[in-house]
Amino acid sequence: METNPKRKLNSREVREDFPALRQTVYGKNLIYFDNGATSQKPQSVIDAINLYYTKNNANIHRGVHHLSQKATNEYEAARATIAQYIHAKHTHEIIFTKGTTDSINLVANSFGALLQAGDEIIISHMEHHSNIVPWQMLCERVGCVLKVIPISKKGDLLFDEYEKLLSSKTKLVSITHISNTLGTINPIKKMIASAHAVGAKVLIDGAQSIQHTKIDVQELDCDFFAFSGHKVFGPTGIGVLYGKEAILNKMPPYQGGGDMIAKVTFEKTTYNELPFKFEAGTPHIAGAICLGKAIEYLSQFNIEDIERHELELADYAHDLLLTFEGLHIVGESKKKTSVVSFVIDGIHPFDLGTLLDKQGIAVRTGHHCTQPLMDFYRIPGTVRASFAFYNTKQEIDTFISALEKAITMLK
């Protein structure tokens, strides 16, 4: 997978790899600034989907025939590619899921089955609904207690408050690496160390970090790491849960069915080993293989180059946005990247989004699945521009003029 030397990051050249970016919307060149919601796909991933269904489609594992073995090999090769990319110790620590939401639900149900009334789970005020609701459901089921780390107006977690919440009752800290709404990069390494000091496990919601920054699960020492394929240039419907082997082995299966068993009788069923114990039923074989291709595509580049380029874009957009009267940036952490959220006095985000769309610009408006965060800022929603490595400063210039136009129409 390592291709040395790495490909130089030139966003104009990179764009050529993404056919969806080469289209017009209402007669304007598409400017895609909704990467926080989902990313576009490179041609290599699109080709791999086609190839899989054209030549390699078969059900995996247990098949003696050629096609089944080919599909199995590719599915397992994708797992190995992902394990290597996030530096997991073992390939069987990579579990294929439907996405981040599914990964978090797996942990809430399976790790959750080991918890008891009174045990505490810590999340933060900036979590995506998918890192809130599964824990609320678990608390309701088991009688656990959910604690929330408060944040500052600038959008940083209050670290001292976090440390005060930690105790021997804390069983799990589940925290986003990068906020999808604010762009804040949380100090997860430090947070993991503090959690471990009281014996708690840590789940990192990596839905917004895997595509932007280097992930080394062993260096972070996180217990779980969840992400979605579709936000990292892969297909929808596929995602990953990384978990440390020892913890995954202690956890009961999440779902029952085919492939997750070793032996079934009506009296007793024994479960398969990792990772299959957590992959009941026919998985999204094409999705997993193509997620592997997306990770291979991404690995051509130095992730540090991607990070630098995206930070430049975010800073550039941030500075230009601040020149607008009555515009407020939501999320002003010193440690942020790739996302710029804002509101403008007297203008509803939805109206702005609609007028930007008419000019070919895709941004997201609304609460971004972070309603408690919107309540904290007392706003109904924001306009969010979120960047990927294929975006350019020129696109931001066009976006800024389009915004000027939209504001004039709405004022």
Ligand X SMILES: *Cc1c(COP(=O)(O)O)cnc(C)c1O
The residues that are catalytic are 369
Q: Which of 15, 92, 125, 128 binds ligand X (CB under 6 A)?
A: 128
Instruction: Identify which of residues 207 and 274 has a Cβ nearer to ligand X in the complex.
Output: 207
Q: How far is the CB of 398 from ligand X (least distance, A)?
A: 25
Enumerate the β-bridge partners of residue 242. Answer: 94, 225
Q: Where are the beta strands (DSSP E) in 135-197?
A: 145-149, 170-176
Note whether 101 binds ligand X by CB under 6 A: yes
Where does this chain touch ligand X (CB under 6 A) — which range of 126-134, 307-315, 386-394, 400-408?
126-134
Instruction: Identify which of residues 34 and 205 has a Cβ nearer to ligand X in the complex.
Output: 205
Instruction: Identify which of residues 11 and 130 has a Cβ nearer to ligand X in the complex.
Output: 130
Rg, C-alpha atoms of the chain: 22
346 vs 266: CA distance, rounded Å:
65
Note whether 208 binds ligand X by CB under 6 A: yes
Enumerate the β-bridge partners of residue 145. Answer: 120
Residues 53-92: x where in contact with ligand X by CB under 6 A, - otherwise, as a string: ----------------------------------------
Report how far apart, in Å, the C-alpha atoms of 259 and of each of 63, 70, 203, 253 are. Answer: 12, 18, 26, 12
Note whether 228 binds ligand X by CB under 6 A: yes
Q: Tell me the site size for ligand X, rule CB under 6 A.
A: 12
Structure tokens at 320: 């230009």
Angle at which helices 303-321 and 393-410 cross, to 10°: 30
Note whether 124 binds ligand X by CB under 6 A: no
Structure tokens at 295: 């990770």
105 vs 137: CA distance, rounded Å:
10
Instruction: Identify which of residues 15 and 384 has a Cβ nearer to ligand X in the complex.
Output: 384
Q: Where are the beta strands (DSSP E) in 35-119?
A: 94-97
Strands 201-205 and 224-228: parallel
162 vs 175: CA distance, rounded Å:
11
Note whether 333 binds ligand X by CB under 6 A: no
Residues 186-205: x where in contact with ligand X by CB under 6 A, - otherwise, as a string: -------------------x
Q: How far is the CB of 13 from ligand X (least distance, A)?
A: 27
Q: How far is the CB of 176 from ligand X (least distance, A)?
A: 5
Instruction: Identify which of residues 92 and 128 has a Cβ nearer to ligand X in the complex.
Output: 128
Q: How far is the CB of 218 from ligand X (least distance, A)?
A: 22
Where does this chain touch ligand X (CB under 6 A) — which range of 68-76, 83-91, 123-131, 330-338?
123-131
Q: Which of 11, 40, 100, 386 binds ligand X (CB under 6 A)?
A: 100
CB 98 within 8 A of CB 311: no
Q: Is the Cα torsion angle 190, 196, 197, 198 positive or negative in sign?
A: positive
Structure tokens at 134: 């599964």
Instruction: Identify which of residues 207 and 352 has a Cβ nearer to ligand X in the complex.
Output: 207
210 vs 319: CA distance, rounded Å:
26
Q: Which of 39, 180, 194, 382 binds ligand X (CB under 6 A)?
A: 180
How many beta carbons lie within 10 A of that of residue 98, not counting itself?
18
Please give the residues from 250 up to 309 whose contact with ligand X meets the rule CB under 6 A.
none
Q: Fill in the amino acid letter for 112.
A: G
Q: Which of 207, 295, 361, 403 binds ligand X (CB under 6 A)?
A: 207
Q: How far is the CB of 131 from ligand X (least distance, A)?
A: 6
CB 294 within 8 A of CB 229: yes
Where does this chain touch ligand X (CB under 6 A) — which range of 124-132, 183-191, 285-293, 342-350?
124-132
Enumerate the β-bridge partners of residue 176. Answer: 205
279 vs 281: CA distance, rounded Å:
6
Instruction: Identify which of residues 174 and 359 has a Cβ nearer to ligand X in the complex.
Output: 174
* Contacts with ligand X, residue ranges (CB under 6 A): 99-101, 128, 130-131, 176, 180, 205, 207-208, 228
